[in-house]
C-alpha cells in the first residue's frame, strides 16, 4: 500500500508539474499568476508534511527539467529563425505555422502573409527548373502531402529538388528544396528547407559557357569542336554518316593584328562569327577551332548538300560586306566528306588541305 501511495503521489506531482508548467508558459498574465498561486500552495503544504516536502521537491525537479528543455528549445528556435536557409513548417491541413526570416527574404513574402494561410495558396509560383534537376511540380507536392495525411505516415522519401520561384515583383530565383515530416506523437507536420542557389547557378552557367564557347565570336570553342569530332569518330551509329567537314581560315587576320592591334583583329573575328551564325542553327557544331580558323561538322550531310551549305556561306558573306564595304571580310574554305568513322582522320586532313589550296589560289 505504501508503494502505491508513493506512486500515486508521483503521478499527482507529474500532473501538477505539467499543469503549472503550461500555465507559466502561457502568454496570458492571469494564467501565469495562477501558476504562482498553485506553486505557493504546494510550498505551504510542504512545511506541514513529509509527503508535501517530497511533492514540492518533485515539482521543483520538474521545473528544473522544464526550464532546461525550454532553454534548449529556445536555442533551436533561434538557430532555425536565423538560419540563412528559408524554413517553413505547415500542418496536415497545409496551413503554415512557421516562416522564418530567411524565407521572407528569399521569397519576398512576409511572415504575416504566410503564417495562417495555406502553403498551396501563397502567391509563390513553383515551376520545374529543368528536366535534368529532378523536377517536381506543385501538384506532385500536394499529392505527396495528401498521401501522407491519408496514411497518417511520414512524407515519402524525396531527394532535394531544384525549383524556380517567381517572386511577387516578377523576378525569379532558383532554390534547392528539401522537405521532410516531423512526427510528434502522431502530430505530423511538414517542413521544407529552401536554399537560394540563384548566384551559384549563374556561376555554373558562366563556367559552362566559358568551357564550351569562344568569348570573341560567341561560337563553340576548340574543346567543344574536338569533343564532337571524337564522338563522331568513335560513333557506332552509322546513321550519322555521311558527315561533312568544313574548314574556314580568315584571310588577313595577322596583318590586321600587326597593323591595327588585336582589338581590331578580334572585331574581325566577331564579324566572321556573325556571318556563320546567320547561316547555321545554334545546335549545329560551328566553332572557332584556332586563332584564325573555324570548323564546321555536319552529320547526315553528303557532298552535294555540303556544297549548298558553302554557297549559303558565301552569299551571306557577300551580304555582310555590302553593309560594310570599307572593311570587307574574306576567308578561305575547304570541305570533305567522311562516309564512315574509318575515314574520319583523312577527312579532317582533306578539308584542311582544300582550305589551304583555296587560300593559295588567292595569292
State the pLDDT at residue 141: 52
**What is the mean pLDDT, run by run of 10 residues, along the chain of 363 residues?**
44 62 66 69 56 56 58 71 85 84 86 83 49 44 52 53 78 83 74 87 82 90 92 81 94 89 92 94 90 93 93 94 87 94 92 93 78
Q: In angstroms, rounded to a whole number, what is the distance separating the alpha carbons of residues 10 and 55?
A: 7
CATH number at residue 274: 3.30.70.270
Same domain, 309 and 336: yes
Q: In angstroms, rounded to a whole number, what is the distance separating the alpha carbons of residues 126 and 137?
A: 7
Q: In angstroms, rounded to a whole number, what is the distance separating the alpha carbons of residues 191 and 208?
A: 33
Q: Is residue 72 part of a domain?
A: yes
Same domain, 182 and 268: no
Q: In angstroms, rounded to a whole number, what is the distance separating the alpha carbons of residues 24 and 66?
A: 11
State the pLDDT at residue 137: 46
Same domain, 59 and 107: no
Q: In angstroms, rounded to a whole number, what is the distance separating the alpha carbons of residues 242 and 109?
A: 57
Same domain, 169 and 186: yes
State the pLDDT at residue 1: 43
- Counting Cβ atoms within 10 Å, is residue 267 exposed (0-12), middle (13-18) or buried (19+)? middle
Q: In angstroms, rounded to a whole number, what is the distance separating the alpha carbons of residues 298 and 6?
A: 91
What's the structural domain count of the chain?
3
Q: Is residue 9 part of a domain?
A: yes
* Mutual angle of helices 50-81 and 2-25, in 10-degree steps: 40
| The model scores a pTM over 0.75 | no
Q: Is residue 96 part of a domain?
A: yes
Same domain, 42 and 28: yes
- Host domain of residue 72: 2-81
Q: Is residue 207 part of a domain?
A: no
Give the domain-ending residue among 81, 116, 138.
Answer: 81
**Helix, strand or coil, per DSSP, at residue 176:** strand
Same domain, 217 and 354: yes
Same domain, 188 and 237: no
- End-to-end Cα spacing for the chain: 120
Q: Is residue 350 part of a domain?
A: yes
Same domain, 243 and 343: yes
**Torsions phi, psi of 184, nearest 5?**
-110, 95
Same domain, 357 and 217: yes
Same domain, 31 and 52: yes
In this structure, are residues 355 and 248 in contact, taking their beta carbons and an 8 Å threshold? Answer: yes
State the pLDDT at residue 117: 85
Interior/surface letters 222-239, b for 16+ CB within 10 angstroms, e for the rest: eebbeebbeebbebeeee
Q: Is residue 60 part of a domain?
A: yes
State the pLDDT at residue 175: 87
Q: In angstroms, rounded to a whole number, what is the distance separating the alpha carbons of residues 62 and 65?
A: 5
Q: In angstroms, rounded to a whole number, what is the distance separating the alpha carbons of residues 220 and 223?
A: 8
Q: Is residue 208 part of a domain?
A: no
Same domain, 235 and 345: yes
Q: Is residue 274 part of a domain?
A: yes
Residue 24: other Cβ atoms inside 10 A: 18
CA-based torsion, 211, 214, 218, 223: positive or negative: negative
State the pLDDT at residue 105: 87
β-bridge pairing 285-288 and 243-250: unpaired
CATH number at residue 90: 3.30.450.20
Give the domain-ending residue among 201, 232, 256.
Answer: 201
Same domain, 76 and 98: no
Amino acid at each position: 500500500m505504501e508503494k502505491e501511495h508513493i506512486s500515486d503521489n508521483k503521478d499527482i506531482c507529474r500532473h501538477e508539474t505539467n499543469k503549472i508548467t503550461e500555465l507559466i508558459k502561457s502568454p496570458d498574465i492571469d494564467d501565469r499568476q495562477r501558476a504562482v498561486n498553485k506553486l505557493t500552495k504546494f510550498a505551504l503544504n510542504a512545511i506541514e508534511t513529509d509527503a508535501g516536502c517530497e511533492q514540492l521537491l518533485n515539482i521543483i525537479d520538474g521545473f528544473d527539467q522544464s526550464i532546461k528543455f525550454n532553454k534548449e528549445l529556445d536555442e533551436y528556435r533561434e538557430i532555425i529563425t536565423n538560419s540563412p536557409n528559408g524554413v517553413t513548417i505547415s500542418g496536415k491541413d497545409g496551413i503554415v505555422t512557421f516562416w522564418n526570416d530567411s524565407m521572407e527574404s528569399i521569397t519576398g513574402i512576409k511572415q504575416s502573409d504566410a503564417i495562417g494561410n495555406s502553403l498551396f495558396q501563397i502567391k509563390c509560383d513553383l515551376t520545374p527548373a529543368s528536366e535534368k534537376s529532378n523536377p517536381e511540380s506543385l501538384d506532385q507536392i500536394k499529392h505527396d502531402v495528401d498521401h501522407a495525411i491519408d496514411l497518417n505516415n511520414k512524407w515519402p522519401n524525396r531527394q532535394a529538388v531544384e525549383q524556380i520561384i517567381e517572386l511577387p515583383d516578377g523576378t525569379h530565383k532558383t532554390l534547392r528544396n528539401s522537405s521532410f515530416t516531423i512526427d510528434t506523437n502522431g502530430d505530423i507536420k511538414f517542413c521544407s528547407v529552401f536554399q537560394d542557389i540563384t548566384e551559384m547557378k549563374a556561376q555554373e552557367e558562366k563556367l559552362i559557357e566559358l568551357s564550351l564557347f569562344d568569348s570573341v565570336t560567341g561560337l563553340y570553342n576548340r574543346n567543344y569542336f574536338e569533343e564532337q569530332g571524337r564522338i563522331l569518330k568513335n560513333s557506332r551509329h552509322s546513321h550519322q554518316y555521311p558527315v561533312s567537314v568544313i574548314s574556314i581560315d580568315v584571310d588577313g587576320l595577322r596583318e590586321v593584328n600587326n597593323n591595327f592591334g588585336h582589338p581590331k583583329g578580334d572585331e574581325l573575328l566577331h564579324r566572321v562569327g556573325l556571318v556563320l551564325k546567320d547561316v547555321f542553327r545554334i545546335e549545329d557544331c560551328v566553332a572557332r577551332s584556332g586563332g584564325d580558323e573555324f570548323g564546321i561538322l555536319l552529320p547526315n550531310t553528303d557532298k552535294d548538300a555540303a556544297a549548298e551549305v558553302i554557297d549559303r556561306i558565301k552569299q551571306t558573306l557577300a551580304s555582310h560586306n555590302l553593309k560594310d564595304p570599307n572593311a570587307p571580310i574574306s576567308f578561305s574554305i575547304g570541305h570533305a566528306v567522311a562516309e564512315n568513322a574509318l575515314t574520319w582522320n583523312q577527312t579532317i586532313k582533306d578539308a584542311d588541305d582544300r582550305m589551304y589550296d583555296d587560300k593559295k589560289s588567292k595569292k
